[in-house]
């Protein structure tokens, strides 16, 4: 038996009366999780090349936390306002800007990688 909360969430996820924009944001949530997985694996794989491991870990935790928050926030149309969009962009740009600090001057890839596309 499926719990009522899960059943309601699944029903809402596949509701036929969704607008195109709502569907886009739901699939964007899936994309965010996929590219987050890619970023986390790449940070872990290249962790020995990082000059500041604590900062790399903090950046990774920030990406995980922000992804969880935005997946929730973007699902409700009333929360899709400019402050959320600006904060989303600001974090992505900040993580890119942190890359030379975390990885050193000769870095070849940014900390967030493809995560910024979300």
- Each residue's pLDDT tens digit in the chain (118 positions)? 667 766 666 666 565 556 888 888 888 999 999 999 999 999 899 888 889 999 999 999 999 999 999 999 998 888 889 999 999 999 999 999 998 899 887 778 888 888 888 8
The per-residue pLDDT for 107 is: 78
Other C-beta atoms closer than 10 Å to the C-beta of 86 total: 10
Angstrom distance (rounded) from CA 20 to CA 17: 9
Give the tokens for residue 72: 């929730």
The per-residue pLDDT for 10 is: 62
- The secondary structure of 5-16 as a DSSP string is HHHHHHHHHT-T
Rounded to an integer, what is the distance from CA 64 to the centroid of its chain? 6
Angstrom distance (rounded) from CA 117 to CA 9: 26
The per-residue pLDDT for 30 is: 93
- List C-alpha distances in Å: 99 to 43, 48, 52, 69, 92: 11, 15, 10, 23, 11
The per-residue pLDDT for 71 is: 94
pTM (two decimals): 0.79
Give the tokens for residue 37: 């997985």
């Amino acid at each position: 038996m499926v719990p009522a909360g899960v059943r309601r969430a699944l029903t809402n996820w596949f509701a036929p009366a969704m607008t195109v924009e709502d569907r886009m944001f739901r699939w964007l949530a899936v994309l965010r999780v996929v590219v987050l997985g890619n970023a986390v694996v790449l940070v872990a794989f290249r962790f020995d090349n990082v000059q500041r491991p604590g900062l790399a870990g903090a950046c990774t935790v920030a990406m995980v936390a922000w992804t969880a928050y935005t997946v929730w926030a973007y699902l409700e149309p009333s929360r899709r306002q400019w402050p959320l969009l600006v904060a989303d962009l600001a974090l992505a740009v900040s993580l890119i800007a942190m890359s030379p600090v975390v990885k050193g001057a000769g870095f070849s890839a940014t900390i967030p990688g493809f995560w910024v596309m979300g």
